[in-house]
Amino acid sequence: MTVFGGVEAGGTKFVCGVGTGPEDLEVVRIPTTRPEETIAQTVAFFRRHPEIEAVGIGSFGPVDLHPESPTFGYITSTPKAGWQNTDLGGEIRRALGVPTGFDTDVNAAALGEARWGAAQGVSDFVYLTVGTGVGGGIVAHGRVLHGLVHPELGHIRVPHDLARDPYPGICPAHGDCLEGLTSGPAMQARWGVPAVELPLDHAAWGLEAHYLALALTTWVCTLSPRLMLLGGGVMQQPHLFPIIRQELSRLLNGYVRAPEILEGLDRFVIPPQLGSRAGVLGALVLAQQAFEAAVPRTASPGIAVLHGENA
Amino acid sequence: MTVFGGVEAGGTKFVCGVGTGPEDLEVVRIPTTRPEETIAQTVAFFRRHPEIEAVGIGSFGPVDLHPESPTFGYITSTPKAGWQNTDLGGEIRRALGVPTGFDTDVNAAALGEARWGAAQGVSDFVYLTVGTGVGGGIVAHGRVLHGLVHPELGHIRVPHDLARDPYPGICPAHGDCLEGLTSGPAMQARWGVPAVELPLDHAAWGLEAHYLALALTTWVCTLSPRLMLLGGGVMQQPHLFPIIRQELSRLLNGYVRAPEILEGLDRFVIPPQLGSRAGVLGALVLAQQAFEAAVPRTASPGIAVLHGENA
SS3 B17: strand
State the Cα–Cα distance between residues A15 and A6, nearest whole angstrom.
8
Q: Which residues pair with B230 in a beta bridge?
A: B128
Check B224 against A148: CB less than 8 A apart.
Answer: yes
Positive/negative CA dihedral, B113, B118, B121, B127: negative
Interface of A with B in 2-61 (CB under 8 A): none
Write out chain B residues lying below 8 Å of A79, CB-based. Answer: none
Instruction: Report ipTM for this prediction.
Output: 0.93
Lowest pLDDT segment from A262-266, B47-51, B66-70: B66-70
State the Cα–Cα distance between residues B221 and A135, nearest whole angstrom.
10
Determine the pLDDT at residue A230: 98
Question: Residue length, chain A?
Answer: 311
Determine the pLDDT at residue A298: 53
B80 touching A (Cβ < 8 Å): no
Query: Chain B: residue nearest A76 by CA?
Result: B257
Q: Hey, of A107, A122, A148, which one would you mutate to test binding to chain B, going by the most B CBs within 10 A of its CB? A: A148
Residue type, A6: G
Determine the pLDDT at residue B298: 53
B85 touching A (Cβ < 8 Å): no
Confidence of residue B301 (pLDDT cuts 50, 70, 90): very low
Interface of A with B in 98-117 (CB under 8 A): none
Nearest chain B Cα distance for residue A264, angstroms: 13
A and B: number of Cβ contacts within 8 A: 157
Region B22-37 average pLDDT: 98
Query: Chain A: residue nearest B126 by CA?
Result: A222
The structure's pTM equals 0.93
Write out chain A residues lying below 8 Å of B133, CB-based. Answer: none
Residues 6+ apart with CB under 8 A from B275: B231
State the Cα–Cα distance between residues B264 and A150, nearest whole angstrom.
18
Residues 6+ apart with CB under 8 A from A181: A158, A160, A165, A167, A169, A211
Instruction: Name which residue leads in pLDDT, B298 or B45.
Output: B45
Determine the pLDDT at residue B79: 86
* Cα–Cα nearest to B153, from B132, B128, B174: B128
Give A208-272 as a DSSP string: HHHHHHHHHHHHHHHH--SEEEEESSGGG-TTHHHHHHHHHHHHHTT-S--HHHHT-HHHHEE--
B196 touching A (Cβ < 8 Å): no
Query: Chain A: residue nearest B221 by CA?
Result: A152
Interface of A with B in 247-286 (CB under 8 A): 251, 253-258, 260-261
Q: Which residue among A221, A257, A306 places its CB closest to the CB of B156?
A: A221
Average pLDDT over chain A reads 94
Confidence of residue B297 (pLDDT cuts 50, 70, 90): low
The pLDDT profile of chain A, 311 residues, written as one tens digit per residue, is: 899 999 999 999 999 999 999 999 999 999 999 999 999 999 999 999 999 999 999 999 899 999 999 999 999 988 899 999 999 999 999 999 999 999 999 999 999 999 999 999 999 999 999 999 999 999 999 999 999 999 999 999 999 999 999 999 999 999 999 999 999 999 999 999 999 999 999 999 999 999 999 999 999 999 999 999 999 999 999 999 999 999 999 999 999 989 999 999 999 999 999 999 999 999 999 999 999 999 765 544 433 323 323 32
Nearest chain A Cα distance for residue B161, angstroms: 9
Does residue B296 carry a pLDDT above 90? no
Number of C-beta neighbours around residue A120 at 10 A: 10
Q: What is the pLDDT of residues B113-158, one digit of tens each?
A: 999 999 999 999 999 999 999 999 999 999 999 999 999 999 999 9
Q: At what angle do helices A184-191 and A203-223 cross, to 10 degrees?
A: 150
Q: Hey, of B103, B125, B127, B157, which one would you mutate to test binding to chain A, going by the most A CBs within 10 A of its CB? A: B157
Q: What is the pLDDT of residues A168-213, one digit of tens each?
A: 999 999 999 999 999 999 999 999 999 999 999 999 999 999 999 9
Determine the pLDDT at residue B303: 33
State the Cα–Cα distance between residues B274 and A135, nearest whole angstrom.
36
Determine the pLDDT at residue B305: 29
Determine the pLDDT at residue B295: 78
C-alpha pair distances (Å), A103 with each of A7, B33, B94: 11, 51, 46
Check B149 against A258: CB less than 8 A apart.
Answer: yes
* Cα–Cα nearest to A150, from B255, B121, B235, B183: B255
Confidence of residue B255 (pLDDT cuts 50, 70, 90): very high
Confidence of residue B302 (pLDDT cuts 50, 70, 90): very low
Interface of B with A in 120-139 (CB under 8 A): 124, 138
Nearest chain B Cα distance for residue A107, angstroms: 13
State the Cα–Cα distance between residues B140 and A62, nearest whole angstrom.
20
